Structure 1
């Protein structure tokens, strides 16, 4: 099993960041490579559409408003990985004046090396968190 994690500090309260990313259907609001999201199964499954028209289907595995985190698995995606489980969490730092957002995941590579799949997901997480930071700065 391979894994990776990325994090970013954002000059915004944890509550404000969580309002942007805490909804399981909110990825299109801040993640540029997700053009659309539709919920099914009572909000526990999301079907994501990329700008290229690819479909990614994910299941919400756990959610904590108190911890400002949720975990999800991938049911279907064009990625060379199986057994994917990821967590997105917002933590309060700087005496509540800033946030640390952590996006981590574990997965089993399928036809690629641990390093290749870890690097791929690390890039997605890193670029996604950077997009989140920019999006929040735009709203200031």
Structure 2
């Protein structure tokens, strides 16, 4: 069954200003406070679909994400998680910035297939309450002051 995970945050900044911070696929750990170090594999251009960012822990790659599409004019990019370490498949996420009365709204949305409620709970905790929520809160703090 296909599932959707969505988290949003509103920030008091212009969408282009927020995109300047989050739009570089290769610079994800620069703005997200709790991510592992990452590199773009094989010297690929991090702005080109097909680029893979690899997150490492103790010298070993623990997660790879592939850039599927990027549209700077729409302030959005979409990526997949390759071989996730939990029982889901087809995980794809979109990070995007939209105009809002308060400045900008950042949307982080993932879709995936899961065969059990346990897998859904793992994704909700790891990505929704972990990666997505933490990164979005850091953006709100960054632009609030």
TM-score by length of 1: 0.83
Q: What is aligned with 2:70? A: 63
Counterpart Cα distance in 1 of 2:33 and 2:117: 26
Classify 1:132/1:60 alpha carbon distance in 2 versus 1 (closer, same or farther; 3 Å).
same
Within 5 Å, which residues of 2 pair with 1:1-140?
Answer: 1-41=2-42, 42=44, 43=46, 44-49=51-56, 55-94=62-101, 98-109=103-114, 112-113=117-118, 115-120=120-125, 121-123=127-129, 124-137=131-144, 140=145
**Would you identify which runs of 4 or more consecutive aligned residues in structure 1 move more than 6 Å?**
none
Classify 1:88/1:24 alpha carbon distance in 2 versus 1 (closer, same or farther; 3 Å).
same
What are the ranges of 5 or more consecutive residues in structure 2 without an aligned counterpart?
none
What are the ranges of 5 or more consecutive residues in structure 1 without an aligned counterpart?
none
Q: How big is the shift at 1:131?
A: 1.6
| Aligned length, in residue pairs | 135
Counterpart Cα distance in 2 of 1:79 and 1:104: 18
Counterpart Cα distance in 2 of 1:19 and 1:110: 37
Check the 8 A contact 1:109/1:117 in 2, yes or no.
Answer: no
Counterpart Cα distance in 2 of 1:16 and 1:74: 27
Q: How big is the shift at 1:64?
A: 0.1
Classify 1:62/1:101 alpha carbon distance in 2 versus 1 (closer, same or farther; 3 Å).
same
Check the 8 A contact 2:29/2:38 in 1, yes or no.
Answer: yes
Check the 8 A contact 1:2/1:118 in 2, yes or no.
Answer: no
Counterpart Cα distance in 2 of 1:18 and 1:48: 22
